[in-house]
């Protein structure tokens, strides 16, 4: 009961919820739970824990969503993070899990949620939060690492996408914004524009590339079908092109993608 009381005092220091911490204490507790000291009152002692609880988790959220914090500015980001943490206290030992529900929270918290016309910048921050969290997951994901990268000499039937290869489609150029921020440039909130990107991990390092719609479709097919010939065939069908036309384009894409470590050799 004592621990429930103390935890409630940390999670809800201003007692905004219906739970009165005092109700959590056994009747044997009379007066203060926390001792006063020669320098601080009991309340001041407890306040140190109350301040550090939220400050520490805010700090972790800011590291987990660093581009989003830059985009929103510290004050607004902190307001969102505080409210999110109040509604979703951590239940996992792994701090990487702390922001798992943040994108959903932002979607639910958007002020224009009921409006028919949505604010574009809010759509952008939701997309950016989604992208950042997924990158964190991809960075830590378990996957085969010891494979041979394909070269220009690898025969077509032996070309396979590297084990960690994710494709993203957003209504904004999220990848450009994120990469600019990470490379210490100062990106502005972009205008709405359909964007596609691929995230690869090789030798435990993430690489991010913009691709165009046709490439996105081709790589999506390749991930699903896991076979170049079948992918070319399906792609030709989807875009009403001949096999020869698609093969010619594929040769150009292939050369570039091999250079960028998209493929391993089977």
Partner 1 sequence: MSIKRLGLPALGLGLGLRSKHFNHILEQAPEVEWFEAISENFMDSFGRPRNILNQIAERYPVVLHGVSLSIGSTDPLNFEYLKRLKALADEVKPKWVSDHLCWTGVLTINSHDLLPLPLNEESLDHVCERVLKVQEFMQRPLMLENPSTYASFTNSDIPEWEFLSEMTKRTDCGLLLDVNNVYVSSFNNDFDPVTYIKGLPHDRIVQMHLAGHQHCGNYIIDTHDRKVTSEVWKLFNLAYRLVGKNSILLEWDGNIPEFDVYHSELLKAKKYMHENMPDLVETEHEGMVESVSNPINFIPTEIA
Question: Is residue 163 at the binding interface for partner 1, with CB under 8 A as the rule?
Answer: no
Question: Is residue 19 at the binding interface for partner 1, with CB under 8 A as the rule?
Answer: no
Question: Is residue 4 at the binding interface for partner 1, with CB under 8 A as the rule?
Answer: yes
| Residue 180 vs 227, nearer CB to partner 1 | 180
Q: Quick one: 115 exposed, middle or buried, by C-beta within 10 A (0-12, 13-18, 19+)?
A: exposed
Question: Is residue 136 at the binding interface for partner 1, with CB under 8 A as the rule?
Answer: yes
Round to whole Å and give the CA distance between 23 and 154.
70
Question: Is residue 176 at the binding interface for partner 1, with CB under 8 A as the rule?
Answer: no
Round to whole Å and give the CA distance between 226 and 219.
10
What is residue 209's three-state secondary structure? Answer: strand
| Residue 204 vs 239, nearer CB to partner 1 | 204
Round to whole Å and give the CA distance between 39 and 37.
5
Q: How many chain residues interact with partner 1 (CB under 8 A)?
A: 60
Dihedral sign for Cα atoms in the order 106, 111, 117, 121: negative
Among 207, 241, 253, 265, binds partner 1 (CB under 8 A): 207
Question: Is residue 56 at the binding interface for partner 1, with CB under 8 A as the rule?
Answer: yes
Segment contacting partner 1 (CB under 8 A): 76-84, 132-140, 151-159, 220-228? 132-140
Among 21, 57, 128, 215, binds partner 1 (CB under 8 A): 57
C-alpha distance from residue 90 to each of 57, 83, 87, 131, 134 (Å): 9, 13, 10, 21, 18
Segment contacting partner 1 (CB under 8 A): 15-23, 49-57, 118-126, 165-173? 49-57
Cβ-defined contacts of 76-80 (< 8 Å, 24+): 80/105, 80/106, 80/109
| Residue 56 vs 192, nearer CB to partner 1 | 56
Round to whole Å and give the CA distance between 204 and 36.
50
Nearest to 222 by CA among 254, 256, 259, 248: 254
What is residue 164's three-state secondary structure? Answer: strand
Among 14, 16, 31, 240, binds partner 1 (CB under 8 A): 31
| Residue 89 vs 187, nearer CB to partner 1 | 89
Among 52, 151, 158, 226, binds partner 1 (CB under 8 A): 52
CA 42 to chain centre: 40
Question: Is residue 78 at the binding interface for partner 1, with CB under 8 A as the rule?
Answer: no
Question: 143 near 201, Cβ under 8 Å?
Answer: yes
Question: Is residue 49 at the binding interface for partner 1, with CB under 8 A as the rule?
Answer: yes
Round to whole Å and give the CA distance between 56 and 121.
28
| Residue 4 vs 229, nearer CB to partner 1 | 4
Give contact residues for partner 1 (rule: CB under 8 A): 2-4, 6-7, 10-11, 29, 31-35, 37-40, 42, 44-46, 48-49, 51-53, 55-57, 59-60, 63-64, 66, 89-96, 132, 135-136, 138-143, 145, 179, 182, 201, 204-208
């Amino acid at each position: 009961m004592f621990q429930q009381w103390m935890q409630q005092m940390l999670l809800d220091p201003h007692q905004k919820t219906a739970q009165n911490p005092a109700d959590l204490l056994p009747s044997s507790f009379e007066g203060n739970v926390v001792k006063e000291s020669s320098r601080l009152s009991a309340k001041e002692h407890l306040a140190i824990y109350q301040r550090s609880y939220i400050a520490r988790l805010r700090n972790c959220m800011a590291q987990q969503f660093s581009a989003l914090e830059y985009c929103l500015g510290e004050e607004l980001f902190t307001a969102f993070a505080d409210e999110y943490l109040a509604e979703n206290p951590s239940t996992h030992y792994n701090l990487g899990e702390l922001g798992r529900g943040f994108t959903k929270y932002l979607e639910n918290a958007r002020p224009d949620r009921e409006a028919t016309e949505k604010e574009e910048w809010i759509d952008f921050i939701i997309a950016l939060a989604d992208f950042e969290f997924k990158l964190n997951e991809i960075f830590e994901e378990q996957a085969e690492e010891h494979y041979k990268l394909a070269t220009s000499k690898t025969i077509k039937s032996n070309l396979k996408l590297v084990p960690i290869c994710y494709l993203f489609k957003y209504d904004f150029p999220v990848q450009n914004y994120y990469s600019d921020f990470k490379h210490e440039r100062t990106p502005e909130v972009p205008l709405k524009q359909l964007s596609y990107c691929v995230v690869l991990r090789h030798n435990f390092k993430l690489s991010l590339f913009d691709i165009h719609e046709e490439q996105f479709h081709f790589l999506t097919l390749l991930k699903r079908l896991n076979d170049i010939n079948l992918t070319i065939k399906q792609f030709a069908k989807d875009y009403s092109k001949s096999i020869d036309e698609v093969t010619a384009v594929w040769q150009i894409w292939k050369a570039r993608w091999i250079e960028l470590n998209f493929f391993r050799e089977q």
